[in-house]
Structure 1
Amino acid sequence: MTDRVERFAGWLPRPSLILDAGCGPGRDLARFRAYGHVVRGVDLNPVFVAMARAHAPTSQCDLREVGSRFPAGTFDGIWASASLVHLAETETVDVLGQFAGLLRPGGRLYACLKSTGRTGWLDEPDGRRWYTVWGQDEFAAAVTEAGFEVDRVDPGPYVEVWATRKGSAPER
């Protein structure tokens, strides 16, 4: 993911305020800071939140409630790397709409989620997790419907969508 972090970091003017939505232990928070950005993290797992706080301010948050955690138009960029995959389709659509509200007009979104396998529960070594599998066209359409212009779609086992919040960017 290092090349994607670098690409996203370069897509935004420096410094930009980036929300890492589903930041895990904070690996990407540290990378974005190294590129000169200001970052905030949210994650549901309290152990990951404690680890991520070593890299940037991070709070425990269910992504389904992220829109109520920050004022509208707070962020220049939102990074959602493999975090939406754990939500049902309708929940993902709602969260994408919340992301649009949290971004300034012209703000950037990177979101990737599973596009292979099957939707359902998966037993993993560290616990049981829900996965929703999306087709690339369906996910790109959901991002568009949430208020974004899709700039790029990269297919693969995880479909990656690069998008811009509709509306012109404010003067800074």
Structure 2
Amino acid sequence: MTTATPMDDPTLAYYEDQAETFFAETVDVDMAPLYARLLAHIPPGGRILDAGCGSGRDALAFRRLGYAVTAFEASPTLARLATEHCGLSVEVRRFQEIDWEDRFDGIWACASLLHVPMAELPEVLGRLGRALKPDGVLYASFKYGVGEREHRGRRFTDLDEAGLDALIEAVPALAVVESWVTGDRRPGREGERWLNAVVARVANISSDCRQTNRLARCRVCP
């Protein structure tokens, strides 16, 4: 697969151009309440992938909590800044290039999958699912809404609860554990809404669970 460059990916070009500003605006945002929703499903010291790590803020937080962290970021400049911040060697990689298998107890994709085109999300989620260990979990967040849009040089895929269910229905062996809506964690932007979700890789998913895609509704799986 050919790696995208800023010349053919306007969103990547945006982050390359705005890397230092984006880093400064996001590196100190308190995400602890959201960490807790993922970490409730991960064993102490487990392996976490920070997928699209941005400033490296969350990779550093997980590392300080004693987890074994791997991180990647599509923007080379942001990857360098994140490496300096979190003390990990942040890989330059896109979601479409993920090739790990059965490696992580948890994946953290905070405000990163939302830049993947809707048509590519099932394949990307399939890659993320394969990167999880059996019964591993993925946290993801999207701007709350419906459809795809461009905003100030970046493209976004917005999701609501129905959109999330439809998306996960297209991905074998993944199911939604829970989803919830929150305000933005950045000061002054609390009115912006986000759809948060914890999604699990399920090794032996039943047909009933496959129909609903939500483990909380399942009464068949052991």
**TM over 0.5: same fold?**
yes
* Counterpart contact for 2:49–2:69, Cα < 8 Å: yes
Q: Which amino acid is 1:77 matched to?
A: G
Other-structure match for 1:91: 120
Offset of residue 117 of structure 1: 7.1
Offset of residue 150 of structure 1: 1.2
Q: Which amino acid is 1:83 matched to?
A: S
Match of 1:52 among 76, 82, 106: 82
Other-structure match for 2:177: 151
* Counterpart contact for 1:9–1:35, Cα < 8 Å: no
* Counterpart contact for 2:52–2:112, Cα < 8 Å: yes
* Counterpart contact for 1:144–1:150, Cα < 8 Å: no
Q: How many residues align?
A: 161
Other-structure match for 2:103: 74
Q: TM-score, structure 1 length as denominator? A: 0.86
- 2:137 is aligned with 1:108: yes
SS in 2 for 1:85: helix
After the TM superposition, which of the residue ranges 139-148 and 78-87 deviates more from structure 2? 139-148
* Counterpart contact for 1:140–1:153, Cα < 8 Å: no
> Where does 1:1-172 land on structure 2 (aligned, <5 Å)?
1-54=31-84, 55=86, 56-66=88-98, 68=99, 70=100, 72-116=101-145, 119-123=148-152, 128-146=153-171, 147-156=173-182, 157-167=193-203
* Counterpart contact for 2:176–2:198, Cα < 8 Å: yes
Offset of residue 24 of structure 1: 0.4
Unaligned runs of 5+ in 2: 1-30, 183-192, 205-222
Q: Distance in 1 between matches of 2:91 and 2:49?
A: 11
Q: Distance in 1 between matches of 2:92 and 2:43?
A: 27
Judged with a 3 Å threshold, the aligned counterparts in structure 2 of structure 1 residues 18 and 144 are, in CA distance, closer, same or farther, namely farther
SS in 1 for 2:200: strand
Q: Which amino acid is 1:133 matched to?
A: D
Offset of residue 144 of structure 1: 4.4
Runs of 4+ in 1 over 6 A off after TM superposition: none
Larger radius of gyration: 2
* Counterpart contact for 2:146–2:160, Cα < 8 Å: no
Judged with a 3 Å threshold, the aligned counterparts in structure 2 of structure 1 residues 85 and 35 are, in CA distance, closer, same or farther, namely same
SS in 2 for 1:95: helix
Q: Which amino acid is 2:202 matched to?
A: K
Judged with a 3 Å threshold, the aligned counterparts in structure 2 of structure 1 residues 161 and 7 are, in CA distance, closer, same or farther, namely closer
Judged with a 3 Å threshold, the aligned counterparts in structure 2 of structure 1 residues 30 and 97 are, in CA distance, closer, same or farther, namely same
Q: TM-score, structure 2 length as denominator? A: 0.68
Q: Distance in 2 between matches of 1:144 and 1:24?
A: 28
Unaligned runs of 5+ in 1: none
